[in-house]
Amino acid sequence: MQPFLIDWIVTLLGLKNNEFDVSTNSKATPVGKPVLNKDLEGKPRKLKWKYRTAVGMLTYLQGNSRPEISMAVHQTARFCNNPMLCHEKAIMRLGPYLFHTSDRGILYEKDISKGLECYVDADFAGGWKDCDQSSPESVLLRHRRV
């Protein structure tokens, strides 16, 4: 949980507690449909807050404790070079959602008895078999031996 970062995001977007639409909280996640596009013929942004700063803060938040906003953040991050009004509105949907759900998130707790555990999803590109030394599939395994 990162309530202080959420407060910063809400402040950056210029939202105040009394401006939140109650219906925003009823959505499971703030992803709008359809998926965002470049909208080159669309209207320009209206608000003056820094789009890239907001996307950066949201990216940090979704990567560390709020994975449910990943799709929405990814969609907005694609348009940092030339954000239009529809992209601005997509970020503005995130503000009230985060404000109403600031008590949610992933909590990381240490367990000294386990030490450091790391899980990866890797099979060395299929080269985990050591049956044929001349096989290209075994190249990674040969180079990793010490």
CB atoms within 10 A of CB 139: 14
C-alpha span between 136 and 82 (Å, rounded): 44
* Tokens, residue 11: 């402040």
What pLDDT, on the 0 to 100 scale, is given for residue 91? Answer: 92
| Cα dihedral 42, 11, 59, 80 sign | positive
pLDDT tens-digit profile of 8-22?
A: 999 999 987 655 554
What pLDDT, on the 0 to 100 scale, is given for residue 142? Answer: 47
Give the pLDDT mean for 96-114.
86
Under 8 Å between Cβ of 69 and 98:
yes
pLDDT at 118 over 70: yes
Q: State the pLDDT confidence band at 128, using cuts at 50, 70 and 90.
A: low
Task: Tell me which DSSP letter residue 62 carries.
Answer: H
What pLDDT, on the 0 to 100 scale, is given for residue 40? Answer: 83
